Amino acid sequence: VEEIKTRLQTRLSQGVHRPGDKFPSAREVAARFGISYQTAHRILRELHDEGLLERRAASGTFIPGGAQFFDGAHLIFDGRARREDSFGGRLVEKLSRRLERDGIKFRLDFSDALSLKIRRGFFPVLWESPRFVESCLKANRPAILLNDRPAPGLSATFLDSVSIDDFSGGAGAAQLLFRANENGKNWAIVGGLEGDVRSQMRVAGAQSVLKNASVLSAGGWYFEDGYRVAPQVLGAGGDGIFCANDRLAHAISTFAREENRKLPTIVGFDDAPIAEKIGLTTMAIPWDELIFEAAQIIKKRMNGDNAGARQLILTPRPIVRN
């Protein structure tokens, strides 16, 4: 009996539990350890008396603490989101508008402020803010990651996420290029910010289809980055070019026009406003679905939903324009 109790104490003190999680009943403990119901009931009663469990009449046995409620959402974004033509800037704009429409109180801060702390009583909404992800994990604090996923393991117990399947999107873009020129041999794949997981996965997805493609790095996500590498890209990708976002594709097409050079088939990623303006074929991030799902999770957590963390992965869809 003492051995079983010690094992349950270890599970409670060292395991990963949310306040309010349901714990196995006396009947389940009895079946699991091969002891009588009365003995299991006694063990759970002792754990309750020690403050490790909470017993609710007609409901069962739970981890103490009950559901967590939040006064609002604390949006903490990387400083790149200050730039209006960036992915983060668009994400801030769309999510803020949705939360305002739904009557959800929120505060926006940027993670490059050294003195910044997560606001007490607010649910953390994090984009590209690893310092605050680590802070939530250390405190077993629930949060949601946007366009990112928690590391496999214990992180996924506490962190919700809504992300994009960048690998699939990159593969889809490469398939569009191949359909446009099945006899092509000279393909170019242009990555964005070096070390950025989104760029790496988009490039890897495209490489899975265009196995002999030349891979070049723009070193960033913006027009000026793409413009700088445009000569090398046009030289390598005579049959087709995939760019890890639309701003890079815009830069390369602009360079080709200015230099009076032939522009091969080009496909972008994101479906940023510039893609519509220049008639760019692209793999579109499902923005409406991303914002809707994120807002739903935020509302549920603020209202005390204590269910297990959810990881939603959304698939980009092709928009063929030109």
Q: What does the pLDDT average to over 94-110? A: 96
| pLDDT score of 294 more than 70 | yes
Q: How far apart are CA 78 and CA 76, in angstroms?
A: 7
> Is the sign of the CA dihedral 32, 33, 39, 43 positive or negative?
negative
| pLDDT score of 65 more than 70 | no
Q: Considering only residues 76 and 45, tell me which one the structure prediction assigns the higher pLDDT.
A: 76
Looking at the DSSP bridge assignments, the partners of residue 311 are 161
Q: What does the pLDDT average to over 292-307? A: 92
Q: What does the pLDDT average to over 40-50? A: 89
Q: Categorize the per-residue pLDDT at 167 as very low, low, confident or very high, splitting at 50, 70 and 90.
A: very high
The pLDDT of residue 66 is: 60
Q: Which amino acid is at 313?
A: I
Dump pLDDT digits (tens) for 27-40: 999 998 999 999 99
Residues of the chain above pLDDT 90, percent: 72
Q: Which residues contact 31 (CB under 8 A, 6 or more apart)?
A: none
3-class secondary structure, 23: strand
Q: What does the pLDDT average to over 264-284? A: 95
Q: What does the pLDDT average to over 46-62? A: 81
